[in-house]
Structure 1
Amino acid sequence: MCKREKLRHDERILENLMGSRRHWILIWVFFYEILFPNVQGSELYSKDALNSFLHDYAVTNSPKHHAGILYNVSLPANYSGMEVSIVRIRARTLWVNGAYFSFFKIPPRVLPWPFVRRVDLVFQNLGIWSDSHYNVPNYTFIAPVIGLLAYDSNESSRSYGEIGLSIMGENPFIVRLPNVTFEENRNVTAKCVRFDRNGTLEFSNVIAKNTCISRVQGHFSIVIPSQIIITKKKKDEGLKWWMIGLAGGIVGLVLLLVLGVWAYKYLQKQRIRKMERQSERSEVLDTIWIGRSRMPSASRIRTQPVLEKSYIP
């Protein structure tokens, strides 16, 4: 099949899907109400509220949308640490070529569901806010939580809100997570985790150091068991205290040597002073300085010299 015939074939598929759009919407709403009747928790509401805010803010504060151009959005100061970008793309482009924006590679033969002509793809990087909105019991994040969400770009039908991306082909979404802070260890296995809208978690293997795959959109991250982090912290703490003890021992040894030298000099001075006091108690002698030494000296001659022949008989 040549390329032109393939495009016509794809267009006929799109037209058929557009014709049955209302039926798909009704079916989707029906099954969602049956499968998830009680998904009204405050945590899920908080996540949905955040997603809705980020989408509305991105749509409102990005330049006039041109199809296929990714816009990075500057968030308010109280959301510092998050990154959000948005791209508007045609359903036909997704079906024929797929897309590769931000951290996500979308394969060809993907359609929005319920079907819409144009889709707003919103990419999120929660960064330092990851732990505030998502958690995995007994696991620790070693990468930020990032998200791929799709919305109907038609202003008149915004009531649809978030929509799905259905993969009709064999290739999955490829997710490359940024800032993975983990050194490979044979005894530790990192896992990809996907957060669904209903609060469920889906684990999968890490394809490469920072790469995960999935057939469903959503939020993604990489985690490792928390016990590994605790053990590493204990080892780090032990090494830290060992280094502190070693440094303290060296300082103590230096102080001991200094104290020993000072004590030796002090005792030597005391001995000299004692000798001086004893000498002062005996006959008083004058002292003179010879160089740097203080020496005793007699002030007068006790016996006057007499010549042997001074008297003549």
Structure 2
Amino acid sequence: MEFFKSWYNVIWLIFSLSLTSFVQASYGYDSESLSTFFHDYANASVRNPHTGILYNLSLPANFSGMEVSFARILSAKFWSRGVNFSSFYIPPRVLPMPYVKRLAIVYENLGNWSSVYYQLSNYTLVAPVVGFLAYDSNPSAMGIQKINFSTQGDPIAIRFPHIDVQAGQNFTPKCIEFGAGGSFEIKNMTEANECLTHGEGHFSIVVPSPETPTPMPTPKKKERWKGLVAGIFGLVLLGLVMIVMYKLVRRRQIRGMEKQSEKDVAFNTFWVGRSKMPSASMTRTQPHLEQEYVP
């Protein structure tokens, strides 16, 4: 029993190390998960929000540097008046799709976390990533259904209060609109240094990154590859240990059966080729009459 306990501990240790390495190798910052967290946090932080009021949320300490706010709006007023909250100006004649009686708009400013959640290979961010997402709303809380916008008049304008001109002084800053799956679209800024869009999403200002002769993998990518290789090696090693365990257990079972057979009735043996076979002595049964009377 001690033998199995010791091998069990070894296998569990190897499996734990392999699983930890694999999780660390595949870890990353997901912008969609972050937006979902902001939605849930807003619902939990403000109960029964008033219509037309912008609520600034106080985020946990591990989200320091980000800013999040939300407002609940009647769709009729949203269509006729538009909204002018935070860094976004949504003009009148913007229709929510699908149509709902009330909608809630969540505004995000990722601040110094922008380059962590939105990584670009050929461009450099010179302004924080800001975004807004719309959801259906009832009198007490936001729903989970996302609302798209259909612009019938002027486009939506996005203002960036601070642009790092020093980082992009040799280039003309451009607007960037992030899409799903890591896609993005580059656009020119207006004369008023604004970005224009026709729907919800996340936006920022970028300049081309300085060209490098040979692109080298970043230390973070190297660490991920090392973790992935370590995880695969650990899983292979775990498989080998399990095979060895199976053979050892099987060998112990065979030895146990051999010992048990030695305690039973012993048979004579004889050789057939290179194999040793058991042999029992033959005794002929003596015939006898069942009755002594013979007619």
Q: Write the distance in 1 (CA, Å) between the matches of 2:56 and 2:32.
A: 21
Aligned counterpart in structure 2 of residue 172 of structure 1, from 152, 155, 175: 155
Paired residues of 2:70 and 2:105 also in contact (CA < 8 A): yes
Amino acid at match of 1:92: A
Which residue is equivalent to 1:281? none
Paired residues of 2:48 and 2:140 also in contact (CA < 8 A): no
Cα drift, residue 183 of structure 1? 5.0
Aligned counterpart in structure 1 of residue 35 of structure 2, from 45, 51, 55: 51
Which residue is equivalent to 1:145? 129
Change in Cα spacing, 1:160 to 1:55, as seen in structure 2 (3 Å) is: closer
Change in Cα spacing, 1:202 to 1:155, as seen in structure 2 (3 Å) is: farther
> What are the superposed Cα offsets for residues 242-290 of structure 1, whole Å, 9 maximum, x if unpaired?
xxxxxxxxxxxxxxxxxxxxxxxxxxxxxxxxxxxxxxxxxxxxxxxxx
Cα drift, residue 158 of structure 1? 6.5
- Report percent identity of matched pairs: 46
| Bigger helix fraction | 1
Which residue is equivalent to 1:194? 177
> What are the superposed Cα offsets for residues 180-202 of structure 1, whole Å, 9 maximum, x if unpaired?
11159885221100112343201
Which residue is equivalent to 2:194? 211
Q: Does 1:84 align with 2:68?
A: yes
Cα drift, residue 132 of structure 1? 1.0
Aligned counterpart in structure 2 of residue 110 of structure 1, from 94, 99, 102: 94
Aligned counterpart in structure 1 of residue 206 of structure 2, from 223, 226, 229: 223
Cα drift, residue 161 of structure 1? 2.5
Amino acid at match of 2:163: V
Q: Write the distance in 1 (CA, Å) between the matches of 2:27 and 2:51.
A: 34
Amino acid at match of 2:165: F
Question: What secondary structure is seen at the aligned counterpart in 1 of 2:32?
Answer: helix
Change in Cα spacing, 1:72 to 1:186, as seen in structure 2 (3 Å) is: closer
Q: Write the distance in 1 (CA, Å) between the matches of 2:27 and 2:76.
A: 35
- Bigger relative contact order, structure 1 or 2, given CA contacts below 8 A and separation 6+? 2
Q: Write the distance in 2 (CA, Å) between the matches of 1:65 and 1:215.
A: 27
Q: Write the distance in 2 (CA, Å) between the matches of 1:189 and 1:216.
A: 24
Amino acid at match of 2:182: G
Aligned counterpart in structure 1 of residue 116 of structure 2, from 132, 136, 141: 132
Aligned residues: 188
Amino acid at match of 2:42: A
Change in Cα spacing, 1:57 to 1:185, as seen in structure 2 (3 Å) is: closer
Gaps of 5+ in 2: 1-25, 214-295
> What are the superposed Cα offsets for residues 38-88 of structure 1, whole Å, 9 maximum, x if unpaired?
xxxx99992221101101111221253111110100001111111000000
Q: Write the distance in 1 (CA, Å) between the matches of 2:174 and 2:181.
A: 20
Amino acid at match of 1:83: E
Q: Write the distance in 1 (CA, Å) between the matches of 2:103 and 2:40.
A: 14
Cα drift, residue 160 of structure 1? 4.6
Segments of 4+ in structure 1 off by > 6 A? Answer: 42-45, 155-159
Paired residues of 1:44 and 1:198 also in contact (CA < 8 A): no
> What are the superposed Cα offsets for residues 105-133 of structure 1, whole Å, 9 maximum, x if unpaired?
00111111111111110000000110111
Cα drift, residue 155 of structure 1? 7.7
Q: Could you state the TM-score of these two structures normalised by the residue count of structure 1?
A: 0.55
